[in-house]
């Protein structure tokens, strides 16, 4: 081991630029799921890159979805790790805000800029480079890897249910590393053990058939007012959701989860600076605030529109009004149950005429801190960095693929710090970037982790 470790160190030094070359190759190929741009080309490129790294591959196909690329690479130990990534990216718009073209990877001041470089082509490159290094220096991997890379994560993985159901046998493993976590503001490695669920609905109110002059407002029904009044029944001004039964299934955090939250880096000041606020919703701070954020399901107004929204005045009584709401759900809330409760509430409050359309439903998925796989990855992160990783028991965001993965395959999972993104990478935003030093660090960490699991 000592010798191979030295050999590995030398190899990584000598091939320092390999990960960046792979990453730039990945970033030069646009792969925008929402716009169906470059998706087929990208799936072919990913399959070739997995084959180059020694994987036997296949394309996982379900009706209506671009191929998910699957690869398996047998190692010395029967211990099997499932890796999850996605090869699609967010749209690059607004293009005019990019300082260099979104699909021309560009280095400036030690940072690499491109759409998808942080989310999550950087992790694909870091994992590939680590696998190349281990195979080159030790002949074979210490463990068996299975790897699924889908092409629809950025549009909510609408076909992952079908993929996980049809190909469950291929996806079985001792544990799964999801799309990865990075490093926090204090450069601590982070582990993320869960994500909130999501129910995304659109409410549409049709009042009159066509817009009217607002001189008729005394006698014609108003869609805009009806929507406002219906929305006002959903939440108290303090933010508590008024839908009966909404909180019934909420499971409190465990003591271990609370302890992990208490040890996270305090980001209050940075958040207050970034969003220019003087206090948070709950008036809490520090660990209490983070605990509140992890525990509370939300009813967020993501969009709202009716009538005239341009400059100046237009005296119109709008024919219709629309709101988009995303509910973020915590264990053990179920999005379908919450949808039924929402519909019942609107009906009971006299708003049965409001049309409720569902645009997304994903359950919350959380791996307990006590889980053996989670404990093992945490110990590996600690042994590598010499300090305990920062553990997030549940993120505010959602990975819709985790629900199907848990239901059809059932293995424990988490996000490990093998992802070369950092807190300011600007995923989904213009000028998305990584620090190139983080890419090298992620390659080294992945090597260490694969070896330590062996």
Binding to a second copy in span 111-150, by CB under 8 A:
none
Figure out which of the listed residues 36, 77, 186, 216 binds a second copy, where binding follows CB under 8 A. Answer: 216
Looking at residues 355 to 384 of the shown chain, list those that interact with a second copy (rule: CB under 8 A): 359-360
Contact string 158-197 vs a second copy (x = CB under 8 A): --------------------------------------x-
User: Residue 362 in contact with residue 161, Cβ under 8 Å?
Assistant: no
CA atoms within 13 A on the CB side of 62: 16
Looking at residues 403 to 432 of the shown chain, list those that interact with a second copy (rule: CB under 8 A): 428
User: Residue 116 in contact with residue 89, Cβ under 8 Å?
Assistant: yes
- Complex with a second copy: residue 95 or 232, whichever CB lies closer: 232
Report the C-alpha gap between 332 and 309 in whole angstroms: 39
Figure out which of the listed residues 65, 181, 224, 378 binds a second copy, where binding follows CB under 8 A. Answer: 224
- Complex with a second copy: residue 15 or 324, whichever CB lies closer: 324
Figure out which of the listed residues 5, 37, 142, 280 binds a second copy, where binding follows CB under 8 A. Answer: 280
Helix (H) or strand (E) holding 328: strand 320-329
Looking at residues 225 to 254 of the shown chain, list those that interact with a second copy (rule: CB under 8 A): 225, 227-229, 231-232, 235, 237, 239
Question: Tokens 């006698």 appear where?
Answer: 219
- Shortest Cβ distance from residue 79 to a second copy (Å)? 33
Q: Which stretch binds a second copy (CB under 8 A): 94-102, 209-217, 244-252, 334-342?
A: 209-217
Figure out which of the listed residues 38, 71, 122, 156 binds a second copy, where binding follows CB under 8 A. Answer: 156
Tell me the angle at which helices 436-453 and 18-28 cross, rounded to the nearest 10 degrees.
110
DSSP characters for 336-399?
HHHHHHHHHHHHHTT-TTSEEEEEEEE--EE--TT-HHHHHHHHHHHHHHSSPPEEESSBSS--
Report the C-alpha gap between 371 and 232 in whole angstroms: 41
Structure tokens at 439: 């890419």
User: Residue 149 in contact with residue 115, Cβ under 8 Å?
Assistant: no
- Shortest Cβ distance from residue 332 to a second copy (Å)? 17
Q: Which stretch binds a second copy (CB under 8 A): 99-107, 180-188, 370-378, 395-403?
A: 395-403
Looking at residues 282 to 341 of the shown chain, list those that interact with a second copy (rule: CB under 8 A): 282, 289, 292-293, 296-298, 300-309, 312-318, 321-322, 324, 326, 328
- Complex with a second copy: residue 42 or 330, whichever CB lies closer: 330
Q: What is the pairing mode between strands 212-213 and 316-317?
A: antiparallel
Closest alpha carbon to 262 in 294, 238, 302? 294
DSSP characters for 163-187?
HHHHTHHHH--SEEE-S---B-TT-
- Shortest Cβ distance from residue 26 to a second copy (Å)? 24
- Shortest Cβ distance from residue 288 to a second copy (Å)? 11
Estimate to the nearest angstrom the gap between the alpha carbon of 52 and the chain centroid.
Answer: 28
- Complex with a second copy: residue 307 or 368, whichever CB lies closer: 307
Contact status: 217 vs a second copy (CB under 8 A): yes
- Complex with a second copy: residue 137 or 222, whichever CB lies closer: 222
- Shortest Cβ distance from residue 316 to a second copy (Å)? 5
Size of the site for a second copy (CB under 8 A): 72
Report the C-alpha gap between 423 and 184 in whole angstroms: 6
């Amino acid at each position: 081991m000592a010798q191979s470790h030295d050999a590995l160190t030398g190899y990584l030094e000598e091939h320092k630029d390999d990960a960046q070359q792979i990453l730039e190759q990945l970033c030069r190929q646009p792969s925008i799921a929402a716009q169906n741009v470059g998706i087929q080309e990208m799936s072919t490129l990913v399959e070739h890159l997995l084959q180059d790294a020694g994987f036997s591959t296949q394309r996982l196909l379900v009706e209506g979805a671009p191929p998910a690329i699957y690869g398996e690479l047998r190692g010395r130990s029967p211990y099997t790790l499932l890796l999850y990534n996605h090869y699609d990216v967010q749209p690059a718009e607004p293009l005019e805000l990019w300082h260099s073209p979104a699909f021309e990877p560009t280095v400036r001041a030690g940072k690499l800029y491109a759409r998808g470089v942080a989310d999550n082509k950087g992790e694909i490159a870091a994992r590939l480079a680590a696998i190349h290094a281990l195979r080159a220096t030790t002949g074979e991997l210490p463990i068996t890897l299975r790897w699924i890379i889908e092409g629809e994560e950025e549009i909510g993985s609408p076909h992952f249910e079908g993929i996980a159901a049809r190909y469950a046998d291929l996806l079985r493993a001792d544990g799964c590393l999801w799309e990865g976590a990075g490093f926090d503001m204090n450069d601590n490695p982070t582990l993320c053990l869960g994500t909130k669920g999501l129910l995304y609905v659109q409410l549409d109110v049709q009042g009159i058939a066509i817009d009217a002059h607002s001189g008729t407002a005394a006698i014609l029904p108003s869609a805009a007012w009806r929507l406002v009044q219906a929305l006002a029944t959903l939440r108290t001004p303090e933010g508590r959701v008024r839908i009966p039964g909404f909180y019934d299934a909420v499971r409190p955090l465990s003591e271990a989860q609370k302890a992990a939250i208490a040890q996270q880096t305090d980001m209050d000041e940075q958040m207050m600076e970034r969003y220019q606020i003087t206090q948070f919703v709950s008036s809490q701070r520090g660990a209490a605030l983070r605990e509140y954020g992890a525990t509370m399901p939300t009813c967020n107004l993501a969009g709202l529109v009716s009538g005239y929204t341009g400059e100046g005045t237009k005296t119109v009584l709008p024919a219709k009004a629309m709101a988009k709401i995303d509910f973020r759900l915590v264990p053990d809330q179920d999005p379908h149950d919450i949808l039924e409760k929402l519909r019942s509430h609107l009906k009971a409050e006299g708003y049965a005429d409001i049309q409720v359309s569902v645009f997304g439903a994903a359950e919350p998925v959380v791996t307990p801190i006590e889980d053996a796989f989670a404990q093992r990855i945490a110990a590996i992160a600690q042994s590598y960095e010499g300090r305990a990783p920062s553990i997030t028991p549940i993120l505010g965001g959602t990975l819709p693929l985790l629900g199907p993965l848990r239901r059809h395959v059932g293995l424990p999972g988490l996000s490990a710090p093998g992802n070369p993104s950092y807190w300011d990478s600007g995923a989904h935003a213009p000028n998305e970037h990584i620090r190139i030093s983080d890419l090298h660090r992620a390659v080294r960490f992945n090597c260490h982790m694969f070896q330590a699991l062996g």
